[in-house]
Amino acid sequence: MKQQLLAAAAAAFLCAALPAAAQNVAVVNGKPVPTARVEALAAQFAKSGRPVTPEVTAQLKEEVIAREVFMQEAQKRGLEGSDDFRNQMELARQTLLIRELFADQQKKNPVTDAEIKAEYDKFVAANGGKEYKARHILVEKEDEAKAIIASLKKGQKFEDIAKKQSKDPGSGANGGDLDWATAASYVPEFSDAMVKLTKGQLTQQPVKTQFGWHVIRLDDVREAQLPKLDDIKPQIAQSLQQQKLAKFQQDLRGSAKVE
């Protein structure tokens, strides 16, 4: 009977001790280190998009234990009472609280699909229309440009002259190729001359801009190739979210009474 009572008491003690032990990842110098610290670090790790594997969990446990060891030593030295520590703690508290405020604001004011669609429509309106595939040769003097036009009319290849004579470091090496772009991508004098050309046509007179004198050839025209809404939806949502948060910050700052 006595042995049965002792066994029952031991079992009761183990049952009571196990949940308490499960709450702690370790006991460092007699002080329990709660498992919640590991869970908090794991949550931060997961937010970065990395998987919390058993190996990672083991590393986080070691990190938590090491922190407790170092923290105990800092407390022994009385560093908690220093002005520098208190100031840093206050700054850290402010940073965390402000981060929570912004996260709460974004959660309560999410970007809607309607807002994303409206922003996309604005993008299409601003970037739609035609795209032009042109080549140019840039020189410093008008006479040089006129001589190039004369050479081209005699049958010399545009690409060869561009490689040898164009002062544009970007396109010259590629035979003057400017790739596909909207007219708005160029300075007005250049785009005005370019859009008047038909496919394959060359400017009959040099075109002067702030960069020098241009000889332009239009190779092709097409409707603007814009990305579909689904392809850029995440980027639009992120941009709108940042805009909303910036406005929230500005409104709060503007309404605050600062004396």
Please indicate, yes or no, whether residues 59 and 143 belong to a single structural domain of this protein: no
Domain harbouring 145, CATH code: 3.10.50.40
What integer is the mean pLDDT of 148-169?
96
High-pLDDT (> 90) share of the chain, % = 83
Give pLDDT, residue 22.
62
The pLDDT tens digits for 209-222 are: 999 999 999 999 99
CA angle at 87 for the pair 81 and 92, rounded to the nearest 5°:
115
Q: pLDDT band for 257, please (50, 70, 90 cuts).
A: very high
In a domain, 233, yes or no: no
The values of phi and psi at residue 203, to 5°, are -65, 135
Task: Indicate the pairing of strand 177-181 with strand 130-139.
Answer: antiparallel
Would you give the DSSP letter of residue 202? B
77 lies in the same domain as 155: no
Is residue 225 scored above 80 in pLDDT?
Answer: yes
168, part of any domain: yes
CA atoms of 24 and 30, how far apart (whole Å): 12
CA atoms of 117 and 58, how far apart (whole Å): 45
Whether 134 is covered by a domain: the verdict is: yes
User: What letter represents residue 114's amino acid?
Assistant: A
Say how many CA atoms lie within 13 Å of 13 toward its Cβ.
6
Say if 61 falls within a structural domain.
yes
Supply the pTM of this predicted model.
Answer: 0.58
Task: State pLDDT tens for residues 10-27.
Answer: 444 444 444 445 689 999
Q: Which residues of 147-185 are buried (b: 16+ CB within 10 A; e: fewer)?
A: bbbebbeeeeebeebbbebbebeebbeebbbbeeeebee
Predicted confidence (pLDDT) per residue in 88-137, tens digit? 999 999 999 999 999 999 999 999 999 999 999 999 888 888 999 999 99
pLDDT above 80 for 1: no
Give the span between the Cα atoms of 63 and 37, in whole angstroms: 10
Within this chain, do residues 32 and 88 fall inside the same structural domain, yes or no? yes
**Distance between CA atoms of residues 67 and 169, nearest Å:** 56
Q: 199 and 137 share a domain?
A: yes
* Cα 13 from Cα 7, distance rounded (Å): 10
* Residue-number span of the structural domain to which 134 is assigned: 130-223
Beta carbons of 68 and 31 less than 8 angstroms apart: yes
Count of domains in the chain?
Answer: 2
Domain annotation covers residue 245: no
Tell me what pLDDT residue 11 has.
43
According to the model, what pLDDT value does residue 193 have? 97
Write the CA distances from 67 to 60, 70, 78, integer angstroms: 10, 5, 16
Pair (64, 137) in one structural domain: no
Residue 82 within any structural domain of the chain: yes
pLDDT at 48: 85
pLDDT mean across residues, the chain? 91
Judgement on whether residues 95 and 21 belong to the same structural domain of the protein: yes
Q: In what order do the strands lie in the sheet with 177-181?
A: 177-181, 130-139, 212-223, 207-209
